[in-house]
Amino acid sequence: WSNRDFPWTKKLEANNKKVFGNHSFRPNQREVINATMSRNDVFVLMPTGGGKSLTYQLPSLISPGVTIVISPLVSLIQDQIMHLLQANISAAYLSANMEWTEQQDVLRELCSGHCRYKLLYVTPEKIANDALLRQLENLHARELLDRIVIDEAHCVSQWGHDFRPDYQSLGILKQKFPNIPVLALTATATASVKEDVVQALGLVDCIIFRQSFNRPNLRYSVIPKTKKCVDDIDKFIKDNHNDECGIIYCLSKKDCEKVSETLQEYGHKAAFYHGSMDPDKRAAVQKMWSKDEINIICATVAFGMGINKPDVRFVIHHSLPKSIEGYHQECGRAGRDGQRSSCVLYYSYSDYIRVKHMLSHGLLEQNYNASSGRVLETNTENLLRMVNYCENDVDCRRFLQLIHFGEKFDSFNCKKTCDNCSKAQNLVDKDVTEIAKHLVELVKSVEQQFSASHILEVYRGSLSQNVKKYEHHTLSLHGAGKSVAKGEALRVLHHLVVEEILIEVVKRSDYYGNVSSILKVNEKKASNLLAGMQTITLRF
């Protein structure tokens, strides 16, 4: 597909220079364009900033009709259209929140004899709408439906980290227009998500392009989160990125506002951004950030898709992200100009319990169909993988992220650009099977009604009021771990949760989002360990 002898090659190169001002193509751009122009179904995995838009905008210019682009967010669509109009490319969009008359104007233009549009962007729910489908059929009958582009295609998959129910109806497009090429684009998809997307969209003999997800200019680290997390963030920014531009991802709207307020007090030009804000206010904040009038945005994951700012020097996670895919994508917003940038994650195990609770109660932004079985299961599994990533203070962060996307990475090539690789490592493997067994047995002997911290207290022989109140100092395993360091026992316990031998069950949450939980035993997974048929080793 890198061949330059296609009938459209000359036009392609000329338009790339003249209309888009690019001197060359980025990796895979030419290949994707040649494949879609040859009328194949194409699936493209390209990291954020890789230049996905060009792979359909350029073909739209050298094709006779209209390209339909399905994109999830109106703000993202508006941003794209603004750029297209600046380049004198005729484009429009349809979304549910437009005035009805405006929508009629767009539909009318679409069925007019000389439709001006080269690109029509639509939000996914519009595809289920008969009026639009009728116009697409009309375009198709006049041979003016060039291709269908599905942006952020991972949103189709329930296995993905960003499932959107509206995307599920997109399979209808291939059913209605089997001979129209579909181009599916995403910056994030594991092998199973890719399969799911290809199947749900009904893509035929699909050509797949993917490139390395490694971002060599990003430096990754995970830092234990303390009560003074915002002070730590303030110091980190002042020491490493003073006055530079960055994003701080927070879990809840309240967190965004609190973190932003504290950073302002510390002298930073910070603002917050989340889904519950008035759209005008949100757009204003984004604009100020683009123009460098403020340099730090404290945001939920609602802030991100379509962010084109090239000089984001740091992405900080104030709380645990809900999946490795999401984390990788959020970090990917840093350093799009190729300059060195930092990705710092402040991790505490208690955030895991908090996120888990929010997931199962649908309290997180952009978290759809949360309480339904399969989605919740996937979300919980994704979250556990993220905990595993944070708990791992040994392996290369790049290796851990990339393996998740099915990409092998030799940690030698990390060149000490993650916290684990840059540590002077003097580690040994340690058999912790006995500790693990004791902890599981203890959870059972307190009737699976107590928290992780209570279990650790009993295990290490505490005689606190709480331990005595429940007479847990009389248990045979009380003090069994007297000689085990607290940190070590804690790591084993977290490992048991990650391996789903123990399960954290949320009991209560208060107004501030603090949650309390108890540990249960997963009998099926614990049986081998308790029967002495499983050993557990951790590296210390």
Residue ranges in contact with ligand ADP by CB under 6 A? 22, 24-26, 29, 46, 48-54, 308
CB of 50 to ligand ADP, least distance (A): 4
CB of 461 to ligand ADP, least distance (A): 54
CB of 122 to ligand ADP, least distance (A): 18
Joined together, the tokens standing for residue 365 give 């932004």
Q: Which is nearer to ligand ADP, 51 or 216 (CB)?
A: 51
Q: Which is nearer to ligand ADP, 51 or 513 (CB)?
A: 51
Mind spelling out the 3-state secondary structure of 362-381?
CCCCCCCCCCCHHHHHHHHH
Residue with token string 């959020």 = 330
CB of 290 to ligand ADP, least distance (A): 12
CA distance 31 to 1: 5
Q: Which is nearer to ligand ADP, 44 or 521 (CB)?
A: 44
Q: Which is nearer to ligand ADP, 115 or 245 (CB)?
A: 245
CB of 20 to ligand ADP, least distance (A): 7
Q: Which is nearer to ligand ADP, 305 or 344 (CB)?
A: 305
Kindly give the residue spans of alpha helices, DSSP state H, lying in 368-485: 373-391, 397-404, 419-422, 433-445, 452-459, 465-469
CB of 309 to ligand ADP, least distance (A): 10
* Sequential DSSP letters for 193-239: HHHHHHHHHT--S-EEEE-----TTEEEEEEE--TTHHHHHHHHHHH
| Region class of 36: left (phi > 0), else alpha (psi between -120 and 50), else beta | alpha
CB of 204 to ligand ADP, least distance (A): 25
Query: What is the pairing mode between strands 537-539 and 429-431?
Result: antiparallel
3-state secondary structure of 153: helix
Length of the chain: 540
Q: Which is nearer to ligand ADP, 22 or 534 (CB)?
A: 22
**What's the sign of the alpha-carbon dihedral 23, 28, 31, 32?**
negative
C-beta of residue 188 within 8 angstroms of C-beta of residue 154: yes
CA distance 148 to 146: 7
Query: What is the pairing mode between strands 66-70 and 145-150?
Result: parallel
Q: Which residue number has the CB closest to ligand ADP?
A: 51
Burial of 330 (0-12, 13-18, 19+ CB in 10 A): buried
CB of 48 to ligand ADP, least distance (A): 4
Q: Which is nearer to ligand ADP, 58 or 442 (CB)?
A: 58
CA distance 213 to 216: 9
Q: Which is nearer to ligand ADP, 309 or 430 (CB)?
A: 309
CB of 58 to ligand ADP, least distance (A): 9
C-beta of residue 329 within 8 angstroms of C-beta of residue 52: no
Q: Which is nearer to ligand ADP, 24 or 476 (CB)?
A: 24
Joined together, the tokens standing for residue 262 give 């504290």
Q: Which is nearer to ligand ADP, 183 or 467 (CB)?
A: 183
CB of 516 to ligand ADP, least distance (A): 41
Among the listed residues 343, 329, 337, 381, the one whose alpha carbon sits nearest the alpha carbon of residue 359: 381
